[in-house]
């Protein structure tokens, strides 16, 4: 007796640590395709290399790269506007940081949903993290509930597409531990907001990642330009 076939799923994979662990996690319940979105971000070259390395590692057949470069034209974020500096890490900061790309994750979901509706995928995975994040509004758990209702109303009645954000209430430390237990290749990821030879170790994203690995007591295989004492 063979197991019933898994439903198709689309995983939004930036090439960062969260989406690597998410991709490995999703293979347990879905036959996954990987979707990467380029939006004119500083680190696109590195992200894309990681995306393909992750897809190769997981032996994903269907992968897609979608370009929404107009977000760079709009500007308004340090991640897409070279004139806005990446600020030094400050995880106690109040308010939305300048690295917020307005409503970015909604674009990611729409792209995944359109592709899902064409290929008949039921699950769309996104590695958004809220509990332990930079405070981007499009990472709030309630945003994903609202998007699911919009998807239910805005796609065919039988599409059955659901967004899953299984990490939204996890701590980054727990994502590292899950990745370790799934045996994921953390060396094929890029989290830093800067496009340097090594991860800078000084931006919010490096600070969150370093803290997560430290709390999980798992070694981070990446090299950092600056690395806090541990």
Task: Using CB under 8 A, list all residues that contact a copy of itself.
Answer: 64, 66-71, 73-76, 96, 100-107, 110-111, 113-115, 117-118, 137-138, 140, 142-143, 145-147, 149-157
Q: Which is nearer to a copy of itself, 28 or 156 (CB)?
A: 156
Nearest alpha-carbon partner for 40 in 4, 80, 76: 80
Burial class (CB in 10 A: 0-12, 13-18, 19+), 3: exposed
Shortest gap between Cβ of 144 and a copy of itself (angstroms)?
9
Q: How many Cβ atoms sit within 10 Å of the Cβ of residue 220? A: 21
Q: Which is nearer to a copy of itself, 38 or 189 (CB)?
A: 38
CA–CA distance, 23 with 157 (Å, rounded to integer): 27
CA–CA distance, 184 with 17 (Å, rounded to integer): 9
Shortest gap between Cβ of 169 and a copy of itself (angstroms)?
15
Q: Which is nearer to a copy of itself, 155 or 214 (CB)?
A: 155
* Distance (Å) of CA 230 to CA 80, 156, 167: 32, 52, 26
Q: Which is nearer to a copy of itself, 119 or 226 (CB)?
A: 119
Shortest gap between Cβ of 145 and a copy of itself (angstroms)?
8
Q: Which is nearer to a copy of itself, 7 or 154 (CB)?
A: 154
Shortest gap between Cβ of 70 and a copy of itself (angstroms)?
4
Shortest gap between Cβ of 101 and a copy of itself (angstroms)?
8
């Amino acid at each position: 007796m063979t197991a019933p076939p898994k439903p198709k799923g689309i995983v939004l994979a930036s090439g960062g640590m969260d989406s690597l662990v998410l991709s490995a996690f999703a293979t347990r319940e879905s036959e996954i395709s990987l979707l990467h979105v380029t939006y004119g971000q500083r680190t696109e070259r590195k992200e894309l290399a990681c995306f393909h390395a992750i897809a190769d590692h997981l032996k994903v057949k269907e992968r897609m790269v979608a370009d929404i470069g107009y977000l760079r034209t709009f500007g308004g974020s340090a991640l897409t506007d070279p004139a806005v500096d990446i600020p030094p890490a400050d995880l106690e900061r109040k308010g939305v940081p300048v690295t917020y790309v307005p409503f970015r994750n909604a674009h990611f979901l729409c792209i995944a949903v359109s592709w899902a509706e064409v290929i008949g995928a039921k699950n769309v995975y996104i590695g958004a993290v809220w509990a332990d994040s930079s405070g981007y509004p499009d990472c709030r758990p309630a945003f994903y509930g609202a998007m699911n209702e919009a998807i239910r109303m805005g796609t065919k009645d039988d599409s059955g597409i659901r967004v899953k954000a299984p990490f939204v209430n996890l701590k980054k430390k727990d994502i590292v531990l899950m990745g370790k237990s799934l045996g994921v290749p953390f060396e094929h990821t890029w989290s830093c907001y800067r496009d340097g030879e090594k991860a800078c170790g000084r931006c919010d994203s490096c600070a969150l990642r370093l803290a997560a690995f430290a709390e999980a007591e798992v070694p981070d295989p990446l090299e950092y330009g600056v690395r806090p004492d541990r």
